[in-house]
Structure 1
Amino acid sequence: MSSSRMRGRAATIAALAGATVLLAAVPAFAHVTVTPNSAAQGSYSTVAFKVPNEEDSASTTKVEVNLPTDHPVASVSIQPVPGWTAQVTKSKLATPLKSDDGTIDEAVTKITWSGGKIAPGQFQQFPVSFGPLPATTDALVFKTLQTYDNGDIVRWIDVPKEGEAEPQHPAPTLKLTAAAASDGASATPSVTATPAADAKSGGSSAGTQAASSDTSDGTARALGVAGIVVGAIGIGYGVFAGRRRNPSA
Structure 2
Amino acid sequence: MSPTSTTLRRTGTLAALTLAGVLAAAGAASAHVTVHPESYAKGATDGVLSFRVPNEEDTASTTKVQVFLPTDHPVLGVLVTPQAGWTAKVTTTKLKKPVKTDDGTITDAVSEITWTGGRIRHGEFQDFDVAFGQLPDDTGRLSFKTLQTYSDGSVVRWIEEAKAGADEPENPAPALTLTAGGAGAEASNGSGGAAGSDADSAAPSSASSSKDTKESTASDTADDSTARSLGTAGLVVGVLGLIAAGFALALARGRNARP
TM-score by length of 1: 0.67
How far the C-alpha of 1:57 sits from its partner, in A, is 1.6
2:103 and 2:144 map into 1 onto residues whose CA distance is 26
Structure 2 match to 1:137: 139
Aligned equivalent of 1:73: 75
Task: Point out the more displaced range, 74-83 or 129-138.
Answer: 129-138
- Gaps of at least 5 residues in structure 1 are 185-249
Q: Give the C-alpha shift of residue 163 in structure 1.
A: 1.1
Among candidates 65, 75, 81, match of residue 63 of structure 1: 65
Residue 176 of structure 2, aligned match among 170, 174, 177: 174
2:158 corresponds to which letter in structure 1?
A: W
Identity of aligned residues (%): 55
Structure 2 counterpart of 1:25? 26
Does the Cα contact within 8 Å between 2:43 and 2:185 map onto a contact in 1?
Answer: no
Partners of 1:85 and 1:78 lie apart in 2 by: 10
SS of the residue aligned with 2:165? coil
Mapped to 2, the partners of 1:133 and 1:183 lie a distance apart of 11
Residues 74-132 of structure 1 show CA distances to partners (whole Å, capped at 9, x for unaligned) of 21111110011111100100000111111111100001111111122211110011231
**Which residue of the partner structure matches residue 46 of structure 1?**
48
1:53 CA drift (Å): 1.2
Q: Distance in 1 between matches of 2:107 and 2:152?
A: 39
| 1:241 matched residue in structure 2 | none
- Check conservation: 1:142, 1:172, Cα contact below 8 A: yes
Separation in structure 2 between the aligned mates of residue 132 and residue 171 of structure 1, nearest angstrom:
21
User: d(CA) in 2 for partners of 1:7 and 1:137?
Assistant: 58
CA contact (8 A) 1:72 1:107 kept: yes
Q: Is residue 158–residue 172 contact of structure 2 (8 Å, CA) maintained in 1?
A: yes
**Change in 2 beyond 3 A, CA 1:59/1:12:** closer
In structure 1, distance between residues paired with 2:40 and 2:31: 23
When Rg is computed on C-alpha atoms for both structures, the one with the higher figure is 1
Letter in 1 for 2:108: E
Equivalent position to 1:163, from 165, 169, 178? 165
Q: Cα distance, 1:2 vs. partner?
A: 8.1
* Structure 1 position 147 matched with structure 2 position 119: no
Structure 2, gaps ≥5 residues long:
187-259
Alignment partner of 1:30: what SS? coil
Closer, same or farther in 2 for the Cα pair 1:182/1:73, shift >3 Å? closer
> Offset at 1:146?
0.8
Superposition deviation, residue 13 in structure 1: 5.1
Q: Which amino acid aligns with 1:83?
A: G
- Whole-Å separation in 2 of the counterparts to 1:4 and 1:55: 38
Runs of 4+ in 1 over 2 A off after TM superposition: 1-21, 181-184
TM superposition shift of 1:23: 2.1
- 1:192 is matched with none
Secondary structure of the structure 2 residue equivalent to 1:23: helix
Q: 1:110 aligns with which of 109, 112, 118?
A: 112
Checking the alignment, whether the CA contact within 8 Å between 2:94 and 2:107 is kept in structure 1 is yes
Kindly report the root-mean-square deviation, in angstroms, between the aligned alpha carbons of the 2 structures: 2.4
- Tell me if the contact between 2:41 and 2:185 (Cα under 8 Å) persists in the aligned partners: no
- In the alignment, is residue 36 of structure 1 matched against residue 37 of structure 2? yes
Secondary structure in structure 2 of the residue aligned to 1:21: helix
TM-score by length of 2: 0.65
Is 1:85 aligned with 2:87?
A: yes
Distance across 1 between alignment mates of 2:133 and 2:4: 66
Partner of 1:237: none
Bigger helix fraction:
2
1:122 to 2:150 alignment: no
